[in-house]
């Protein structure tokens, strides 16, 4: 199965995608995580991408299409019969390039699932979001804080805030989502591949909805 997990920033993709991947034995491919790893390693790609990311803008399509093509070519299909794409495609051009690449190998996207969350809730979530720098466990400093300030409950790692969770970047990311990524929903809807699920609930409740959508 090849699943695209969609939704605006703060909808919960980064929380749900790894859980779903573990449950259905899929590989989890997050272009945001891949880019952040490039930034941390100070590669040329990372240094170029950082400017776009910090401002909440999209990294150019061709860079992303090349990145995902290389990643999917390296995927060990036997270890992971399924794949969950988290954060890709984010433009119609990316969606078309993905379909072309899969078609060339006789494959296709099976489903696009959108986590739907209203705007005010997205802003509240992003305003308090923090992640363990070590094991990537997500926290919300108000709704699901760690038991010890600034430290991960899971591994003791340092909790960090993303630069693009600053208010100005958040406003831009939501604008970019409306203008460039929302049309991708229509792209999959027209192919009868889109399912919209309610992403407003607690993580466990959203996960149940997600799982039943994947299994239906
Ligand atoms: P995310 O972790 O998915 O929110 O991604 C963080 C940032 O990485 C985005 O705001 C973009 O700047 C960049 N990014 C991630 N995926 C893509 C993509 N498919 N196309 C363009 N930029 C991306």
Determine whether the shortest distance from the Cβ of 173 to ligand 1 is under 6 A.
Answer: yes
Query: In angstroms, what is the C-alpha Rg of the chain?
Result: 17
pLDDT, position 78 = 55
Strand, helix or coil at 56?
coil
pLDDT, position 174 = 96
Strands 129-132 and 138-140: antiparallel
Tokens 């309610």 label which residue?
A: 198
Determine whether the shortest distance from the Cβ of 87 to ligand 1 is under 6 A.
Answer: yes
Where along the chain do its domains lie?
Answer: 2-118+181-215
Q: Which of 51, 47, 31, 30 is nearest to 39 (CA)?
A: 47
Residue 141 clears pLDDT 60, i.e. is over it:
yes
Taking the C-alpha atoms of residue 4 and residue 19, their distance in angstroms, rounded to an integer, is: 14
* DSSP summary character for residue 60: P
Tokens 């979530």 label which residue?
A: 125
pLDDT, position 35 = 96
Determine whether the shortest distance from the Cβ of 50 to ligand 1 is under 6 A.
Answer: no
pLDDT, position 131 = 92
| Å from CA of 58 to ligand 1 middle | 6
Buried/exposed 74-86: b ≥16 CB within 10 Å, e otherwise: eeeeeebebbbbb
pLDDT digits (tens, 9 = 90+) for 54-91: 999 999 999 999 999 888 877 665 567 789 999 999 99
Sheet holding 138-140, edge to edge: 138-140, 129-132, 159-160
Tokens of 77: 């299909």
pLDDT, position 105 = 84
Determine whether the shortest distance from the Cβ of 52 to ligand 1 is under 6 A.
Answer: yes
- What's the mean pLDDT in 122-132? 92
pLDDT, position 79 = 65
Q: Which atom of ligand 1 is nearest to the CA of 35?
A: 8
Q: Which atom of ligand 1 is nearest to the CA of 9?
A: 4
pLDDT, position 77 = 56
| Dihedral angle sign, alpha carbons of residues 61, 173, 92, 98 | positive
CATH class name, domain 2-118+181-215: alpha beta
Catalytic residue, chosen from 13, 51, 171, 193, is 13
Determine whether the shortest distance from the Cβ of 59 to ligand 1 is under 6 A.
Answer: yes
Q: Which atom of ligand 1 is nearest to the CA of 31?
A: 16
pLDDT, position 75 = 67
Global pTM?
Answer: 0.91
| Å from CA of 157 to ligand 1 middle | 24
* 124 flagged as catalytic: no
């Amino acid at each position: 199965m090849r699943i695209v997990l969609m939704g605006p920033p703060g909808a919960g993709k980064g929380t749900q995608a790894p859980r779903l991947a573990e449950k259905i034995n899929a590989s989890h491919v997050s272009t945001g995580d891949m880019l952040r790893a490039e930034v941390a390693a100070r590669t040329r790609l990372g240094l170029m991408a950082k400017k776009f990311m910090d401002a909440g803008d999209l990294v150019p399509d061709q860079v992303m299409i090349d990145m995902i093509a290389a990643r999917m070519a390296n995927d060990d299909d036997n270890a992971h019969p399924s794949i969950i794409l988290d954060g890709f495609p984010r433009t119609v051009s990316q969606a078309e390039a993905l379909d072309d690449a899969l078609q060339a190998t006789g494959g296709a996207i099976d489903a696009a699932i959108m986590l739907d969350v209203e705007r005010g809730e997205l802003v509240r979530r992003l305003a308090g979001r923090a992640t363990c720098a070590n094991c990537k466990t997500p926290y919300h400093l108000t709704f699901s804080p760690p038991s010890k300030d600034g430290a991960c409950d899971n591994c003791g790692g340092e909790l960090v805030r993303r630069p693009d969770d600053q208010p100005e970047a958040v406003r831009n990311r939501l604008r970019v989502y409306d203008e460039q990524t929302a049309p991708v929903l229509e792209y999959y809807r027209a192919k009868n591949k889109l399912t919209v699920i309610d992403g407003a609930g607690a993580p466990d409740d959203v996960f149940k909805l997600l799982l039943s959508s994947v299994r239906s």
